[in-house]
Structure 1
Amino acid sequence: MNRVFYWCGLTVTQPFNTGIQRVTRCLAAELQKRGTEIIPIKWNARKNGVSIISGKEAEIFAAYSGPNISLPDRLPMNLKGEWMIVPEVIVPMVVPGSNPVRWANDQGMKTAAIFYDLIPLKTATDLHAKHLELFAEYWRMFAEADLVLPISKESESDMVWWLGHNGHHIPEVKTVYLAGELPGIPRSAKSKKESETFNLVSVGSIEPRKNHVAVIRAVLDAREQTGVDIRLTIIGRTIRDAYPELHVLVDNLMAKSNGAITLRESVGDEEMNDILSDADATVFGSWLEGFGLPVLESLWRGLPCICHNGSSIGEIAPGGGTVMVDMTAQDRITDAIIELATSPDQLEELTAEASRRHVKTWAEYADDVANALEIEKIDHTPFYFMMTDYLLRRNL
């Protein structure tokens, strides 16, 4: 695989690094390190067609350990047989012709797309019907791909169900689990500290399924039951326009904590590192994910993580360093926090497990994606040609 055309139109407009943007940037950077030329492309509304990203957009793409790319002047005239990868969520996708997979198919290209989740459908009460239809248009795109790379077995089963349920073609599928590496941050083992404060960190945007209300209430209950100075720092983007009542509730609960619970919204890498370097553990309250990057990223830092025991998190969390509980049951979250805050030996053991445990790197993820594309070429070889080759080699 000498080069791939890489759809990154959303990421190059966003100078921040959510989970999907991290996947998009890190996969491109690691494919590039493997010797693959990355041709970054997007839908250009002004030209009403596909084009190479601009120089300014390439700078945004290169941020957060993304690839440094020398942009070609123009797209090749003949794209037949080339690979295109779609690593992003593309919503909305309503401009005629802006479906990247359909465009690539029209050029005779081969297409691979990463499938994340059906969360908008599973939490449909949080979305207006017209927004859900925008996601449906995006999900239909996967029926036209040559190869789909779900990020977990749960996301794979969700995609296959949705396409089949709606009468669409089900393409070739190969699940490729994401990496948990934090580029630029070496694996670390937390040293035992002498402190009367137990510091928790929760990473995630303020939205219903991230479950911040239950986590905050669990921290307040644990403080009251133990008398331990348990503190929680939430690092996440607020979405007040979409969830005004939720944000009012979170604000009120934080106010009741007398400073024990704080929210940090705009946090750079250096500040994030400072906050987490002082943490004893993390808590990821989400009960519904396509993968659950914050769990593995916590382990990468050598921090134990309290997390859900179901959804896709139930696939990636086992293996050491995690306390898995039912995140829909607030009392279970409280019990887990109390256990870590009052049991130094248990905390030390989990910290050691987190530090020893293998966490997949983005280089390994890129290898898996590249191998999946190569496997796809073999799998799509017609049976007739496979048998002909076999008979020729046997001189039959």
Structure 2
Amino acid sequence: MTVTLGTVPDPSVALDRRLAAVAPFLLGETGHDHEGAPGHLAADLLPRLLDACRRTGRRQDLWLLLTALAGAMPHERDMRAVSRELELETGRSAQLRVLDVAFEMAADTDGAYELDVVRGAVVVDVDFCARRDFHTGIQRVVRETVPRWDEVHEILPVAWTDSYTALRRLHPSEVPNVMAYEPGAAARQTDHGATRLVVPLDSSIILPEIPEPEASDAYAALAQWTGNRIAAIGYDMIPLVSADLRPGFEATRFVRYLNVVKHAGVIAGISRSATTEFVGFAQTLAAQGLTGPAVTEVLLPASSPDKQSAQLVESPAARPTVVCVGTHDPHKNHAVLVHAAERLWREGVQFELVFIGGVGFLGPGDLCFTSLQQAGRPVRHLGRVSDEVMSSTMRDAAFSVFLSLHEGYGLPVAEALGCGTPVVTSNFGSLQEIAEGGGCVVVDPRDDDAVTDALRDLLVHPERRQQLREEIRTRVERTWDAYAEELWSTVMPSEEQK
């Protein structure tokens, strides 16, 4: 069931219409007259809606009413405060107490929104991809998966208001940034126009992205106080397990996300390694008396970014090219590659080193290969590039190198293999898992000598590179179509669970 009303800028009229929108679900009434002075309808409906919440005793009803009053999704503290006040107060005193909490919530909002109540929907949070022109690991997964779902299932993609206080419908200009991504399109968006809040009831909410901290707090309350079911993709726990290699604020933000995870129904880990991390977290929740989510592995695919066929014979070149894809962050461990490259150049080994990826959180001043460029070494940094440029560069390469110290999956390895390009990668975790299918050389990424030896072997023995390309030919293919289908069946509840 969906209730849809017009959009108006006046806060009092918006409040009237939000309460009228939830009345069918709390009172069983429709057709409330919006005529009269702004706020008149709200004054009439509020005591009746409060009485209905008190009479039914359903936690979801109280959550719905508070969301409509504030135009924002409540956090756990808001729900506890209102629930306790209604146990102690009645009549006008109860109304004032509830309004106090709602007004405090509304103070953080960024506009007078109307809302749509959706029941039995599949709500997919694509906030980051809808708003931003960023296209690495998580965003690649979202933009490959959600459009495939949209073709065969009825889904409702949503984002958050600018204040991250409520879910909203996507602006028309945001839809292509998720469903038909083109680099630079998000930066060209200007006038978004009006939009509407989305309030789910008895729905499935899928989180293919990691929500912002404020959104995480709202999701945690939604999971505990409503009949909605939350499912999420489990990418990794790098902000906690490898906190020494990430900016300090990430750990704090990630802990708030884990407050959603522990109340979710299903987590779909993208690899054995990532699944193990989330299983371990779920097992700790018994200490809080919680069962935690069901954690299942749904392995990401290995395919070329631009869908072209793999190149299984190395392109002729005057000197081999070695490609490294990934943001220039400490846990990506690019410094070990730079050191090995310098050692090999000093030995007289001829090759070019190409980096693809953004500068990372440390900024351009910390790019580890700058000194090599200044010394005249054959190093290029292409920065962020299109899928087509990345694929063509990868296909022309002798091999790729990805020696990360911690990955949930390692799309650069999978995508290199999808291009038919051999890879030197780390000998543990999810990267080892990908390498097991063939086409890779695995080394200890913390061992400078082992890394140098592996690169030297491939650079001076082209027949070894061709052997790895032949191994790639025999790998079992896993496609994005297969991933999207398996993920859907994993995160969506069966009829028996509904």
Question: What is the TM-score normalised by the length of structure 2?
Answer: 0.67
SS in 2 for 1:15: coil
**Residues 1:109 and 2:228 aligned together:** yes
SS in 1 for 2:328: coil
Distance 2:164 2:422 in 1: 49
Q: 19, 22, 38: which is aligned to 2:140?
A: 22
Residue of structure 2 equivalent to 1:230: 351
Are the aligned partners of 2:268 and 2:491 in contact in 1 as well (CA < 8 Å)? no
Residues 162 and 314 of structure 1, relative CA distance in 2, 3 Å threshold: same
Cα displacement (A) at 1:74: 6.0
Distance 1:77 1:207 in 2: 38
Residue of structure 1 equivalent to 2:296: 174
Opposite residue 230 of structure 1, the aligned amino acid is F
Opposite residue 326 of structure 2, the aligned amino acid is G
Residues 116 and 99 of structure 1, relative CA distance in 2, 3 Å threshold: farther
Q: 58, 78, 82: which is aligned to 2:175?
A: 58
Cα displacement (A) at 1:187: 2.3
Residue of structure 2 equivalent to 1:120: 239
Are the aligned partners of 2:232 and 2:491 in contact in 1 as well (CA < 8 Å)? no
Are the aligned partners of 1:222 and 1:230 in contact in 2 as well (CA < 8 Å)? no
Cα displacement (A) at 1:105: 5.8
Residues 117 and 10 of structure 1, relative CA distance in 2, 3 Å threshold: same
Q: Which deviates more, 7-16 or 161-170?
A: 161-170
Residue of structure 2 equivalent to 1:39: 156
**Residues 1:267 and 2:385 aligned together:** yes
Opposite residue 394 of structure 2, the aligned amino acid is L
Larger Rg computed on CA atoms: 2
Residue of structure 1 equivalent to 2:274: 155
Cα displacement (A) at 1:78: 6.5
CA deviation digits over 1:77-114, x for unaligned, max 9? 7632x3221000123x126x853354366452222111
Opposite residue 295 of structure 2, the aligned amino acid is V
SS in 1 for 2:429: coil
Distance 1:127 1:234 in 2: 20
Distance 1:9 1:98 in 2: 16
Cα displacement (A) at 1:3: 6.1
Residues 42 and 85 of structure 1, relative CA distance in 2, 3 Å threshold: same
Residue of structure 1 equivalent to 2:446: 328
For structure 1, list consecutive stretches of 5 or more residues without a partner in the other structure. Answer: 67-72, 382-396
Aligned length: 365
Residue of structure 1 equivalent to 2:123: 5
Cα displacement (A) at 1:130: 4.4
Question: Relative contact order, CA 8 A, sep 6+: which one is greater?
Answer: 1
Cα displacement (A) at 1:126: 4.1
Opposite residue 228 of structure 1, the aligned amino acid is V
Distance 1:12 1:234 in 2: 27
Are the aligned partners of 1:144 and 1:171 in contact in 2 as well (CA < 8 Å)? yes
SS in 2 for 1:348: helix
Q: Which deviates more, 121-130 or 287-296?
A: 121-130
CA deviation digits over 1:317-359, x for unaligned, max 9? 2111111111111211111111111112211111122233233
SS in 2 for 1:221: helix
SS in 1 for 2:127: coil
Are the aligned partners of 1:299 and 1:359 in contact in 2 as well (CA < 8 Å)? no
**Residues 1:348 and 2:466 aligned together:** yes
Residues 76 and 133 of structure 1, relative CA distance in 2, 3 Å threshold: closer
Cα displacement (A) at 1:43: 2.1
Residue of structure 1 equivalent to 2:483: 365
Q: How does 1:178-217 map to 2 (within 5 A)?
A: 178-217=300-339
SS in 1 for 2:359: coil
Q: Which deviates more, 259-268 or 170-179?
A: 259-268
Residue of structure 1 equivalent to 2:13: none
Residue of structure 2 equivalent to 1:84: 205
Distance 1:244 1:234 in 2: 13
For structure 2, list consecutive stretches of 5 or more residues without a partner in the other structure. Answer: 1-119, 184-194
Distance 2:200 2:333 in 1: 49
Cα displacement (A) at 1:364: 0.5
Opposite residue 60 of structure 1, the aligned amino acid is N
Residues 84 and 335 of structure 1, relative CA distance in 2, 3 Å threshold: same
Question: What is the TM-score normalised by the length of structure 1?
Answer: 0.84
Residues 158 and 379 of structure 1, relative CA distance in 2, 3 Å threshold: farther
Distance 1:195 1:176 in 2: 39
SS in 1 for 2:236: coil
CA deviation digits over 1:195-218, x for unaligned, max 9? 341111000000111111110111
Residues 271 and 192 of structure 1, relative CA distance in 2, 3 Å threshold: closer
* Aligned Cα root-mean-square deviation (Å): 2.7
Q: Which deviates more, 166-175 or 6-15?
A: 166-175
Distance 2:260 2:300 in 1: 21
